Structure formats: C-alpha cells, structure tokens
Amino acid sequence: MGNLEKLGAAAALTTAGASIAGVQTFTIDFFPDDPSTINIMLGFITPALTGKTIVETRLFVEFTPEPGYDAGDLYFLLAAPVSPDAGEDGVVYLESGADMGWSGSGTFFYENTFTNLNGVLQIGAWQHDVFPTFDPPIYEGSFSADSRWEIDYIPAPGTATALGGLLMLGARRRRIR
C-alpha cells in the first residue's frame, strides 16, 4: 500500500471518528409532569439545529393514567423538518399505547430508538403530539419528569468529510513535490 493509500485510509478513519465523536444530543421535554386531562399538540422551531444531521432519535416515557383511563388509548407523534435519509420519512408515530404493550391502569414505561428522523434538518416547525385514540379528545394521567425525546445529531453534514478531503489534498500535494 502506497503512502497515498495509507493517508487515504487514515483520513477515512479520522472522518468516521470525527463523526462519532461530534454527536450531540438535543432534548425535547414537552410532557407534563402533573396529572393532566388535556391533549398535547405543539409546534415549535429550533433554528439552532437547522443544517445539522440527525443520526438517532430516542423516546423515554413513563405514564400513569388516572383511574378509568386505559393507557393503551394514547398515541405519540414527533415530526421534524428533515430532508430524510433514504428509506426514512421524518416522522415517528406510535399508533397507540397498545403498540407499546400498554393496557389498562398502572404505571407504564417505554423506551425505544428510531431512525425515522435521520437526515438533514431544514428550516421549519417540528410537531409533538400526545393524543388519545378515542372520543372525547382528552387523555387523563401524568408523565414522569424523565419522559423525553432525545435527538442525536452531528453539527453539520460533511464537516468531517471535508476534513478528510483536506488531508487527502495535503497528501497529494506533498507527493507531487
């Protein structure tokens, strides 16, 4: 393997390492901690994330329904203004608490990782909904203070790749001399 190939391999490893090391987390915590008999339907804007690349989304939720409310009758949605990666749609949608294994009363936990939002964030509004699946359109219960969405992103698409390209250019320039 020549020097150029070795440097190219090193640049590729540096690029991969920079991408992994550069992951940051944005937390979305719009779950009410107190018992509620409402719906949550929020639109919000996060201009500081525009142009960043989402690489993973996680949901951590703990819900305790009020007496008489079935935890299986609750759905969650998170939509982001992304230019999604191939095969992704930019929306996390859980049709019901029953999809998460919830039913009846008690305290319910759910934790999952999603790739649906992976892609480059565009300018626009996010949407966060928590709704019941029946009429009347209210849910009754409370979420723990730890309930949240976590969005892992890298600061800018291609930043690490550009660094690798500069390393390759420098190696090529040195070899020509």
Cis previous bond, 136, omega within 30: yes
Write down the pLDDT at residue 13. Answer: 41
pTM: 0.73
Q: Give the pLDDT confidence of 81-139 residue by residue, as tens digits.
A: 999 999 888 899 888 899 899 999 999 999 999 999 999 999 999 988 888 887 666 78
The neighbour count for residue 13, using CB atoms within 10 Å, is 11
Write down the pLDDT at residue 21. Answer: 60
Q: Which helix (H) or strand (E) holds 8?
A: helix 3-21
Percentage with pLDDT > 90 across the chain = 38
Q: Which helix (H) or strand (E) holds 4?
A: helix 3-21
Q: Which residues of 51-86 are buried (b: 16+ CB within 10 A; e: fewer)?
A: ebbbbebbbbbbbebeeebbbbbbbbbbbbbbebbe
CATH of domain 24-154: 2.60.120
